[in-house]
Amino acid sequence: MKKFLALALSLVMALSLVACGGSSTEEPADEGETAESAETGETGGSGKIGIAMPTKSLERWNRDGSYLQEQFESAGYEVELTYSDNDVTQQVNDIENLISDGVDLLIVAAIDGESLTTVLDSADEAGIPVISYDRLIMNTKAIDYYVSFDNYTVGVLQGQYVIDTLGLDLNDTSKTYNIEFTAGDPADNNAPFFFNGAFDTLKPYIDAGILNIVSGQTAFEEVATATWDTATAMNRMQNILASYYSDGTQLDVALCSNDSTALGVTQAIESDYAGSNQPIITGQDGDEANLKNIVDGKQSMTVYKAVANEAVVTLALAQAILNGEQPGEELTSQFDCECAYDTSSYDNNTGIIPSYLLTPTVVTADNIQEELVDTGYYTMGSDGYPVAVG
Ligand code: BGC
């Protein structure tokens, strides 16, 4: 079974490379020569990479960890990978240990973007470059680069999906709809980007009275979900349903920033919603439980971010940094997937952090096969539900 999984993983890695080929991912020309050296003539990867992931309890980070590990190991690096159980103190300890283990470069997906200043200052003093992975780490000059998806666009895609699905038209105010928002963790710098992308997209319809937020909870702080926790999102939606919808008021849309929150909101609607319509429910990530709900018609869409490609971009960036280069726009030309070099969007309070931003995709029941299975990121289980590989 293990062997099969390993085989499946390498197959998927190979397929994902078709989606987003970086120089480091090509087949080596000769035995013993790394892909990097085969293509560029430079020495292949050597050294140790420290990877700090937030938690195994949110599905996507398991995939990020495996893809990153696979990418760096196959390019010749040694990898130390930590998961910190969504515990900020543990993540600080884990990063301290990676530093004292002598890693040559750190890749960090922060639990709390504002709590790593001191530990990353030590990395800086030790001359260890740091890539802020997926979530921007705030208040430290130690961050060299940021690799993520276009986070604002994730929210825009969710908002646009609602507009398209309901056929909203600013010139037609005769039909109105009710909507509630559920956002992410305030400690995660991404969360306001997702929320603002969705809210800004829908605001003209809210202002026109076409979309009504019946609970009146419109500010990010009011709709946020600590640690992106499913049960917290479920409890909040149960309260909203009891307070504002128990009289038969129809809920048309539950705009959720990601899949872990969408899962809780879906559970609340299943158990506590008095209406008989199926509200539109948005998400993000393509978590297996949510894809199952999409197949079953309980969730409408998810915004998928190919984390396999995020790993490919991170490897290419890390290699360039370790080669003493100062990568910029030119790095993007080696990727087949869409990846923008951005020097204006992400300021971590010490200045702009140069960013490589990949492009997210909308996944619905209609394109799961094409976007997730045919691309090799998932297999289709015999029960008809997608299973993530990696
Ligand atoms: C990631 C999302 C994820 C969320 C919770 C965010 O920082 O960008 O993909 O859903 O964390 O894990």
Q: What is the pLDDT of residues 323-354, one digit of tens each?
A: 999 999 999 999 999 999 999 999 999 999 99
Q: Is the CB of 63 under 6 A from ligand 1?
A: no
The reported pLDDT for the residue numbered 360 is 98
The reported pLDDT for the residue numbered 32 is 29
Question: How close is the Cα of 46 to the center of ligand 1, in Å?
Answer: 30
Q: What are phi and psi of 246, to 5 degrees?
A: -75, -15
Query: What span, in angstroms and rounded, lies between the C-alpha atoms of 78 and 118?
Result: 25
Q: Is the CB of 230 under 6 A from ligand 1?
A: no
The reported pLDDT for the residue numbered 7 is 41
All residues at 6 or more sequence positions from 357 whose CB lies less than 8 Å from its CB, including other chains: 148, 149, 150, 339, 340, 342, 345
The total of other beta-carbon atoms located within 10 Å of residue 116's CB is: 26
The reported pLDDT for the residue numbered 227 is 97
List the one residue out of 151, 146, 127, 135 whose CA is nearest residue 187. Answer: 135
Q: Is the CB of 228 under 6 A from ligand 1?
A: yes
Ligand 1 atom 9: the closest Cα is on which residue?
285
- pTM for this structure? 0.91
The reported pLDDT for the residue numbered 301 is 98
Sites in the chain below the pLDDT cut of 70 = 1-19, 21-44
The reported pLDDT for the residue numbered 44 is 66
Question: How close is the Cα of 84 to the center of ligand 1, in Å?
Answer: 15
The reported pLDDT for the residue numbered 33 is 30
All residues at 6 or more sequence positions from 182 whose CB lies less than 8 Å from its CB, including other chains: 223, 225, 233, 236, 237, 254, 255, 256, 257, 261, 262, 264, 265
Question: How close is the Cα of 191 to the center of ligand 1, in Å?
Answer: 8
Question: How close is the Cα of 256 to the center of ligand 1, in Å?
Answer: 12
Q: Which of 190, 229, 263 to mutate to test the pocket of ligand 1 (most atoms within 8 A of CB)?
A: 190
Q: Is the CB of 60 under 6 A from ligand 1?
A: yes
Pairing of strands 280-281, 339-342: unpaired
Q: Is the CB of 134 under 6 A from ligand 1?
A: yes
Place of tokens 């094409």: 370
Query: What span, in angstroms and rounded, lies between the C-alpha atoms of 303 and 351?
Result: 29
The reported pLDDT for the residue numbered 309 is 97
- Provide the token pair at 77: 């690096």
Query: What span, in angstroms and rounded, lies between the C-alpha atoms of 348 and 140?
Result: 7
Place of tokens 């969408």: 262
- Provide the token pair at 143: 């961050």
**Burial of residue 80 (number of CB atoms within 10 Å: 0-12, 13-18, 19+):** middle
The reported pLDDT for the residue numbered 22 is 59
